[in-house]
Amino acid sequence: MAQYVGSNAIGVIMTGMGADGASGMLKMKEAGAQTIAQDEVSCVVFGMPKEAIKIGAVDRIVPVDRIPQEIIRLINRSETENLSPGR
């Protein structure tokens, strides 16, 4: 994702054990992607999001029920920015 889509991607990391997704999220963020992590309260297991947050791979932390709206908000913002004069 990071290599081929870069800033056109939105990464989401959700409940789970381990840290294997965190490094991928960091690569995505470094490539310009927007990144979202599920918050601790709504996670069954906070391991994966916690590791991504810890290494600075996450832009936003939201409850699981707000993730779809956050994705839509980011898509709409991106579309608006691309329509701005001078682009």
CATH number, domain with residue 36: 3.40.50.180
Is residue 31 in a domain?
Answer: yes
User: What percent of the chain is predicted at pLDDT more than 70?
Assistant: 93
CB 62 within 8 Å of CB 87: no
26: domain range? Answer: 6-81
DSSP 7-36: GG-EEEE-S-SSSHHHHHHHHHHHTT-EEE
Collapsed DSSP state (helix, strand, coil) of residue 79: helix
pTM of the model: 0.89
Q: Among all chains, which residue has been given the structure tokens 């810890």?
A: 54
DSSP 45-74: --HHHHHHHHTT--SEEE-GGGHHHHHHHH
Collapsed DSSP state (helix, strand, coil) of residue 56: coil
Question: According to the model, what pLDDT value does residue 28 have?
Answer: 96
CB 30 within 8 Å of CB 24: no
Is residue 23 in a domain?
Answer: yes
Is residue 40 in a domain?
Answer: yes
Is residue 46 in a domain?
Answer: yes
Is residue 87 in a domain?
Answer: no
Is residue 1 in a domain?
Answer: no
Question: According to the model, what pLDDT value does residue 66 have?
Answer: 98
- Domains in the chain: how many in total? 1
Is residue 39 in a domain?
Answer: yes
Is residue 62 in a domain?
Answer: yes
